C-alpha cells in the first residue's frame, strides 16, 4: 500500500469528524471578548496575519498589514479605491500554504492588475486537529472583520469593493467575517466549503447568503455515501455543482475500493475538493472560454438534459465571472466540465421520440450519438439513461462535447449490439426475457430535436431517408438538419412529438 501513514491520517480525520458535533460551533464570547484559540501553542508567529501580495513570486510573502498602522498601509502601496480580495485558506495537515493558493493569487493579480490581493494566513490556528480548527474559525472571522472595519475608516475605501474568497474551512471563515463586519461585504465566494460539522448547521454558524451582498459557491466534493469533505447543502445565493458536485473528471475516484487498496484515496479526495479552486482560477485566466451552469432542481433532471434554459436568469457563468443574483430562494445550478483547463464544455439537449410498431415489452437499447458540425465532429457519445427509455414517448438526454463543433449539420444514431457495461448487459438480458414470444427488437426514430445550452439555439434533424426510420441492435440511422427550431408543420403521424 502506498503511503500508509497518509491513508491512516485520512481516516483519523474522519474519525474526528464523526466524534465532533455541531455543538462545537456554538459562538463563545462576543466581538469585544474574543474566544481563546483552541490547541495553539505559544508561538512568535501571529495567529492571524494579513499579507498584501506585491509580487507574483510565490516565495515572496508580500507586505504584512498591521491593524491600526496607517504608515505601513501606505508603505505597502494599498490602493484604497481598487478592488480588494481576501484569500482565506482552510484546514491544513502540512502547516504550509499550498500551491493552489499561489496559483489563485497570481491569477487574481493578472486579471485585476490594480487590485489589492490579501492572503489571510491563519496557519497556526488551522494546523490543528480538525475539531480545534473548526472552533478557531469564529475568531479568525472576527480578525478579518476587524481589519475591514479599520479599512472602512479610510475615506476612499468601500466595503462594496471587497471580495472574500474562502476555500474549504476558509469559506466559513469568510462567512463569519461577513456576519461580524460593520456593513455589507460586496461578495463572498465559497470554494467547496467544508462539510463535516457544518452540514445542517444554523446559518449563523456557517457560510450563508446573509453574509454578503452576493454569495456564490462551487461544490466539487459532496458524494452522498459518507466520505464527503465539502458541504452538500446550498449555502449561497447561487450554489453550483460541477459534474453533480460528486466525482470530478481526471481525479481518478471512480473506484473507491481500489483507491483505498492502493493508498490513493487522500490524493483523489484532495483532487476532488481542490477542483473548486482550479475552476475559479480557470474563470480568471480563460476569460474567453467561460463555463456556464444551468439552474435545476436536482442532478438527475440535469443528467436527463431537461435543464438547459437561460430564461429568467436560469443560467450563469461560474467562478469569477458569475453574475450577481440576489433571490430569497437559493438557486442550485449544474454543469459538466473537462478534466483540466480550460474546463469549458458544450452542452446539448437531445429530444428523441422512440416508438415501436411491434414491441410493448421492456426494451432498453444502448444508444450512441455522433454530432457532425461545421468546425469539428464529436466522438461517439453515449446517451446516458437516467431512467428507463420509454417507448412511444419523447425521451430526453444530455450530451456534451469538449470541442466547439460550430453549426451542427448532421447526426448519427447507433444502437450498440453488445453492451460494454454489466448494467446495460443485464438490461438487455431482461429485455429478451420480457418478450419471449416476440423476438423483434426494432425501434423507430423519425427525427431528433437538439438544443444548445451555450447558444440556446434549437434545431430539428430529420431522418435522411424518411422511409427508413427503423433501427435494431448493430444498426445506425443518419439525420440531417431540416429546420431551425422545434415546431413541425403538417404533422400527420399518430406518434406526435410534443414541443
Angle at 407 between CA 404 and CA 412, to 5 degrees: 90
Dihedral-angle region of residue 208 (phi above 0 means left; psi in -120 to 50 means alpha; beta otherwise): beta
168 noted as active-site residue: yes
Q: How many CA atoms lie within 13 A of 475 on its CB side?
A: 13
Note whether 278 and 341 are within 8 A (CB).
yes
β-sheet with 214-218: strand ranges across: 63-65, 49-52, 116-121, 84-88, 162-167, 187-191, 214-218, 238-242, 331-335, 292-295, 315-317
| Residue matched to cell numbers 466549503 | 193
192 carries an active-site annotation? yes
- C-alpha span between 235 and 224 (Å, rounded): 17
Which of 106, 132, 168, 239 is catalytic? The answer is 168
Round the CA-based radius of gyration of the chain to a whole number and report it: 26
- Is residue 94 annotated as a catalytic residue, yes or no? no
Find the farthest-apart pair of alpha carbons in the chain and give their distance in angstroms, rounded.
90
| CA nearest neighbour of 352 among 492, 477, 491 | 477
Rounded Cα distance, 396 and 388, in Å: 11
Q: CA-to-CA distance for 377 and 320, rounded, in angstroms?
A: 31
Stated as kind and residue range, the H or E segment containing 394 is strand 393-401
Distance between CA 32 and CA 473 in Å, rounded?
A: 73
Kindly name the residue from 106, 132, 163, 192 that is annotated as catalytic.
192
Q: How far apart are the C-alpha atoms of 321 and 340, rounded to whole Å? A: 18
Does residue 226 come out as left (phi exceeding 0), alpha (psi in the -120 to 50 range) or beta?
left
Which grid cell is 23? Answer: 455543538
Q: What is the per-residue DSSP string for 273-296?
A: HHHHHHHHHHHHH-TTS--EEEE-
> Binding residue per annotation — 211?
yes
The single residue of 163, 172, 273, 347 carrying the catalytic annotation is 273
Beta bridge partners of 333: 240, 295
Q: What is the rounded distance in angstroms from the CA atom of residue 97 to the CA atom of residue 166?
A: 14
The full DSSP string for 124-139 is: HHHSS-HHHHHHHHHH
Is residue 225 a contact partner of residue 197, using CB atoms and an 8 Å limit? no
| DSSP-derived 3-state class of residue 444 | strand
Containing 441, the helix (H) or strand (E) segment is none
Q: How many CB atoms lie within 10 A of CB 68?
A: 10
Active site amino acids: 168, 192, 273
Residue ranges for the known binding site for Ca(2+) are 206, 211
Annotated binding site: 206, 211
Amino acid at each position: 500500500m502506498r503511503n500508509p501513514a497518509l491513508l491512516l491520517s485520512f481516516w483519523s480525520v474522519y474519525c474526528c469528524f464523526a466524534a465532533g458535533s455541531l455543538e462545537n460551533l456554538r459562538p463563545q464570547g462576543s466581538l469585544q471578548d474574543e474566544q481563546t484559540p483552541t490547541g495553539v501553542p505559544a508561538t512568535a508567529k501571529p495567529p492571524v496575519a494579513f499579507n498584501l501580495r506585491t509580487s507574483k513570486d510565490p516565495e515572496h510573502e508580500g507586505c504584512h498589514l498591521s491593524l491600526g498602522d496607517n504608515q505601513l498601509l501606505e508603505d505597502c502601496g494599498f490602493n484604497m479605491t481598487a478592488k480588494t480580495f481576501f484569500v482565506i485558506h482552510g484546514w491544513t495537515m502540512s502547516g504550509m500554504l499550498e500551491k493552489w493558493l499561489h496559483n489563485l493569487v497570481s491569477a487574481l493579480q493578472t486579471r485585476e492588475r490594480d487590485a489589492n490581493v490579501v492572503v489571510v494566513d491563519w496557519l497556526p490556528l488551522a494546523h490543528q486537529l480538525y475539531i480545534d480548527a473548526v472552533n478557531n474559525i469564529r475568531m479568525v472571522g472576527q480578525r478579518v472583520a476587524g481589519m475591514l472595519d479599520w479599512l472602512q475608516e479610510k475615506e476612499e475605501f468601500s466595503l462594496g469593493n471587497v471580495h472574500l474568497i474562502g476555500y474549504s474551512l476558509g469559506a466559513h471563515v469568510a462567512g463569519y467575517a461577513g456576519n461580524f463586519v460593520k456593513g455589507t461585504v460586496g461578495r463572498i465566494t465559497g470554494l467547496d466549503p467544508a462539510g463535516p460539522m457544518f452540514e445542517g448547521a444554523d446559518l449563523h454558524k456557517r457560510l450563508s447568503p446573509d453574509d454578503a451582498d452576493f454569495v456564490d459557491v462551487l461544490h466539487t466534493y459532496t458524494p452522498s455515501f459518507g466520505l464527503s469533505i465539502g458541504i452538500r447543502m446550498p449555502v449561497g445565493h447561487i450554489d453550483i455543482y460541477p459534474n453533480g458536485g460528486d466525482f470530478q473528471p481526471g481525479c481518478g475516484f471512480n473506484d473507491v475500493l481500489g483507491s483505498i487498496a492502493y493508498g490513493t484515496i487522500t490524493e483523489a479526495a484532495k483532487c476532488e475538493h481542490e477542483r473548486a479552486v482550479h475552476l475559479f482560477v480557470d474563470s480568471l485566466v480563460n476569460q474567453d472560454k467561460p463555463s456556464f451552469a444551468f439552474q435545476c432542481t436536482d442532478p438527475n433532471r440535469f443528467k436527463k438534459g431537461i435543464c438547459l434554459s437561460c430564461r429568467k436568469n436560469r443560467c450563469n457563468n461560474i467562478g469569477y465571472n458569475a453574475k450577481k443574483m440576489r433571490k430569497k430562494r437559493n438557486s442550485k445550478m449544474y454543469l459538466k466540465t473537462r478534466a483540466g483547463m480550460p474546463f469549458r464544455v458544450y452542452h446539448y439537449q437531445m429530444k428523441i421520440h422512440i416508438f415501436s410498431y411491434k414491441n410493448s415489452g421492456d426494451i432498453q437499447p444502448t444508444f450512441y450519438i455522433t454530432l457532425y458540425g461545421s468546425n469539428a465532429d464529436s466522438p461517439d457519445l453515449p446517451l446516458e439513461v437516467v431512467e428507463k427509455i420509454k417507448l412511444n414517448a419523447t425521451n430526453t438526454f444530455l450530451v456534451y462535447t469538449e470541442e466547439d463543433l460550430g453549426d451542427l449539420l448532421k447526426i448519427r444514431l447507433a444502437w450498440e449490439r453488445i453492451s460494454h457495461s454489466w448494467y446495460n448487459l443485464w438490461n438487455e438480458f431482461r429485455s429478451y426475457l420480457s418478450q419471449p414470444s416476440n423476438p423483434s427488437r426494432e425501434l423507430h426514430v423519425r427525427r431528433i430535436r437538439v438544443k444548445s445550452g451555450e447558444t440556446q439555439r434549437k434545431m430539428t434533424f430529420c431522418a435522411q431517408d424518411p422511409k427508413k426510420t427503423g433501427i435494431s441492435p448493430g444498426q445506425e440511422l443518419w439525420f440531417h438538419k431540416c429546420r431551425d427550431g422545434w415546431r413541425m408543420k403538417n404533422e400527420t403521424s399518430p406518434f406526435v412529438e410534443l414541443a
